Amino acid sequence: MQCVLLGAVTELRATTHTIEFPYTRTLGPVIGSFFTGLRDRRILGIRAGDRVLVPPLEYDPETGDALKPDFVEVGPAGTVTSWSWVTKPTRKHPLDRPFGFALIRLDGADTAMVHAVDAGSIDRMQTGMRVTPRWRDERKGRIDDIECFVPEGGAA
Amino acid sequence: MATAHEPCAIVGFGQTKHKKRRDDLSLPGLVREAAERALDDAGMTWSDIEAVVIGKAPDPFEGVMMPELSLADALAAVGKPMMRVHTAGSVGGSTSIVASSLIMGRRHQRVLTVAYEKQSEGNAQWGLAGGRSGGMGAGGIFAPWMRSYIRGSGAPEHIGWKVAVKDRLNAVKNPYAHLQLPDITIEKVKESPMLWEPIHFLESCPSSDGAAAMVLTDEEGGRAASKPPAWVLGTAMRSELGSFPGRDTVRPQAGVECAEMLYKEVGITNPREQIDVAELYVPFSWYEPMWLEGHDIAGPGEGWKMVDSGETEITGSFPVNPSGGVLSSNPIGASGMLRFGEAAQQVRGQAGEHQVPGAKVALAQAYGGAAQYFAMWVVSSELQPSLS
């Protein structure tokens, strides 16, 4: 029997493997209330000591104590506390035109939450600007029930 | 036993009610439920805890990547050391061992350890059945190895059915167990659909949402505990590749050596006589006799005979899985810690209706991956028991 030694032949350098799997996220009583509120065009925070946290948390981030279901309606308008501009949105971004990602402290809240701001132009974005939500007509109890925020007093 | 290290005591244990879907709780809420029960059992509050060690199986189960980053508030770990352990299905065991090492090394005096899985978030049995990506899943991997055991040992096929019935009837005595099948019979197991030959549906574990937690302390904490503590007499972990030429998949070398090291550390020379009760990781019925042999509790080909003669029943000479085991509740990441915690409950005399009377020395074991990770510990009601 003849033995033939073969050298490495690496024409194929990679193969593909697609993992596809759907997930469900159980919301629990606190985020569940927040999302239910969004469906009804209401934005809820939760009291933690003398602060109002938005979005609400189940446990006090400092002490770990379970927070009582003491919800407070905030906003809907708020103030931008910081921001970043997206010049070329990809298909996965919330808007198909240049927009801002902003930290928005809603009126009555002590914390800021992130969302998109449809300001039209970077020139209209500034820390301290006032924004208000643009709600979707059909709401499902998700964070994007708020399509985005728009500058108060008129969208771009 | 060598006592160069600090003795470690388990002074609190807690678990959730395990269910197919805990949709009443968020993931942090699930973890919290077990942790609060462990603290209550220990008579402690969150501020008594110095460090937190969490464990869970692969992140794709829930699709929450690196969950340790977002559980610090639910586990009151802000400002404390917190870490996550991962060794696939054995993780609940290895997490317990890592927590105990923080005590034994005198780094901390009171440690909370928690393990969990919320499998319903993955909508299917990703780990067990492979999901849509077409993997074999655990059942597909283990089935031929169980077949090898059956062929090699000459075990009759009813052994698997018998384990399935025993563990489910034990689970009826455990209010936290997921499956409650008081009417199960050998006939029903045998007639249930074949999932992965030779494993029938009723010989397989369920997919559960659940969590387990323990509070561990140093010797001083153990002696001051309000309820009897369980003392950790020894721990061991071993691993090997899941696949290599010549691998003994029925009796993996890592499992043999893990048990060997553990027995040596504890001073066990005859496990079958010196251990009063065992909680072994048995997700498929045949793994009970396989681990009895794989960890040298029974000789080669003798494991199935222990099952057949009823020795592994609660009333038998070597009870295995009085809690109902993985066959009755399988929140995968927590399953190992449930074994480790249930073993502790037995020697604390706190196991309730599934208590093995007078249990003083208990063995817990968990395995993971392709039977390639092993974690084991022995706990006792006494710090220095006479192992007769």
The rounded distance, in Å, linking the Cα atoms of B247 and B260 is: 19
Of all residues in chain A, the one with the smallest CA distance to B125 is A21
Residue pair A111/A51 in contact by the 8 Å Cβ criterion: yes
Residue pair B69/B84 in contact by the 8 Å Cβ criterion: no
The rounded distance, in Å, linking the Cα atoms of A109 and A71 is: 11
B65: left (phi over 0), alpha (psi -120 to 50) or beta: beta
Nearest to A23 among B22, B62, B76 (CB): B62
Of all residues in chain A, the one with the smallest CA distance to B131 is A21
Of all residues in chain B, the one with the smallest CA distance to A21 is B132
The rounded distance, in Å, linking the Cα atoms of B179 and B169 is: 10
Q: Where are the domains of chain A?
A: 28-151
Which residue, B30, B246, B4, B183, is CA-closest to B104?
A: B4
Given a cut of 80, whether residue B380 has pLDDT beyond it is yes
* CA–CA distances in Å: residue B274 to residues B116, B173, B349, B358, B380: 31, 25, 18, 13, 11
Predicted confidence band at A14 (pLDDT cuts at 50, 70, 90)? Answer: confident
Given a cut of 70, whether residue B130 has pLDDT beyond it is no
Give residue B344's pLDDT: 98
Predicted confidence band at A22 (pLDDT cuts at 50, 70, 90)? Answer: confident
Of all residues in chain A, the one with the smallest CA distance to B29 is A28
Which residue, B110, B38, B362, B336, is CA-closest to B231?
A: B362
Distance of CA B25 to the CA centre of its chain: 23
> Are the Cβ atoms of B122 and A60 closer than 8 angstroms?
no
Residue-wise pLDDT for B174-209, tens only, equals: 999 999 999 999 999 999 999 889 999 999 999 999
For chain B positions 85-124, those within 8 Å of chain A (CB to CB) are 118, 120-124
Give residue B131's pLDDT: 52
Residue-wise pLDDT for B307-333, tens only, equals: 999 999 999 999 999 999 999 999 999
A32 min Cα distance to partner chain B (Å): 9
Residue-wise pLDDT for B205-259, tens only, equals: 999 999 999 999 999 999 999 999 999 999 999 999 998 999 999 999 999 999 9
Kindly state the tokens that stand for B355.
Answer: 């208590």
Average pLDDT, chain B: 94
Given a cut of 70, whether residue B127 has pLDDT beyond it is no
Given a cut of 50, whether residue B290 has pLDDT beyond it is yes
> Are the Cβ atoms of B26 and A60 closer than 8 angstroms?
no
The rounded distance, in Å, linking the Cα atoms of B72 and B50 is: 13
Given a cut of 50, whether residue A3 has pLDDT beyond it is yes
Average pLDDT, chain A: 92
Give residue B60's pLDDT: 85
Size of interface A-B (CB pairs under 8 A): 76
At what angle are helices B91-104 and B332-348 packed, to 10 degrees? Answer: 50
Neighboring chain A residues of B122 at a CB cutoff of 8 Å? 21, 23-24
Q: Establish if B23 touches chain A: CB-CB under 8 angstroms.
A: yes
Number of Cβ within 10 Å of residue A123's Cβ equals 8
Predicted confidence band at B125 (pLDDT cuts at 50, 70, 90)? Answer: low
Predicted confidence band at A156 (pLDDT cuts at 50, 70, 90)? Answer: very low
A2 min Cα distance to partner chain B (Å): 25
Provide ipTM, 2 decimals. 0.80
In the DSSP assignment, the letter for residue A87 is S
> Are the Cβ atoms of B26 and A19 closer than 8 angstroms?
no
Residue pair B285/B306 in contact by the 8 Å Cβ criterion: no
Distance of CA A30 to the CA centre of its chain: 16
Kindly state the tokens that stand for B6.
Answer: 């600090």
Distance of CA B18 to the CA centre of its chain: 14
User: Among the listed ranges A106-115, B3-12, B103-112, B326-335, which one has the minimum average pLDDT value?
Assistant: B3-12
> Are the Cβ atoms of B28 and A17 closer than 8 angstroms?
no
Q: State the best of A15, A18, A23, A31 to mutate against chain B, taking most chain B CBs within 10 Å.
A: A23
